[in-house]
Chains A and B, each alone.
Chain A
Amino acid sequence: GQNIDQPTEMTATEGAIVQINCTYQTSGFNGLFWYQQHAGEAPTFLSYNVLDGLEEKGRFSSFLSRSKGYSYLLLKELQMKDSASYLCAVKDSNYQLIWGAGTKLIIKP
């Protein structure tokens, strides 16, 4: 079956750096997405990786290794507003999005 694994919950300190990992086993690969979802709000798009390597976008970066079936989302200079759930999703060979259950990130002062 197809599977996306990410930690259920993580805690980090304001101003610090946190890395949220995502591993996947899917039938084919056509890209990996990260979304941010604040409580009670819509998931919003953060990043898309289809080639190996690091994509940087301000304080957020996303890394992909297709050979390892692995991605991470790196958040720098953490702010309280970064407290949210982070969803990893992979497009399989049929261009279906397979979703992880999300990682709840708690930022402490």
Chain B
Amino acid sequence: ETGVTQTPRHLVMGMTNKKSLKCEQHLGHNAMYWYKQSAKKPLELMFVYNFKEQTENNSVPSRFSPECPNSSHLFLHLHTLQPEDSALYLCASSQIKGAGGNTIYFGEGSWLTVV
């Protein structure tokens, strides 16, 4: 139980499918993040939301579309993905985006396989 829950835990989708990943945090935080984790590579920050406003989009292809309806929920909408997008997608939250030692708390991730 990490305080950040993600669904689904596993997803297999075709390149023409549309699917969504969901994240919910129960920690009262005001910043939420999407990360991509590929084998033997550093975590890649995809999107950041502060108080529901998107503050960063790290050159992520438009086939990934985030949505943050409130400070507790975050979605990642997936459309026409490529096989190289197969990875573990981690949602995270923290109290504020930037300063000091504000710890980021992660969900257990959604394993995505694109076939």
Contact = CB atoms under 8 A, between A and B. Distances in A.
Interface of A: 4, 8, 30-31, 33, 35, 40-45, 48, 50, 87, 89, 94-102
Contacts of B42: 4, 98-102
Contacts of B45: 96-97
Contacts of A97: 45, 104
Given A42-B4, A42-B90, A95 B106 contact: no
Where chain B touches its partner, the secondary structure class is loop
Contacts of B61: none
Contacts, number: 49
Contacts of B103: 33, 45, 48
Given A42-B106, A45-B103, A50-B101, A101 B2 contact: no
Interface string B30-58: 00000000001111010000000000000
B2 A42 contact: yes
Interface in B95-111: 97-101, 103-109
A87 B43 contact: yes
Interface residues of B, number: 20
Nearest to B41: A101
Interface of B: 2, 4, 40-43, 45, 90, 97-101, 103-109
Nearest to A100: B42
Nearest to A87: B43
Contacts of B104: 33, 45, 97
Contacts of A48: 101, 103
A42 B97 contact: no
B4 A95 contact: no
Q: Which of B41, B42, B98, B104 has the most CB of A within 10 A?
A: B42
B108 A8 contact: no
Contacts of A96: 45
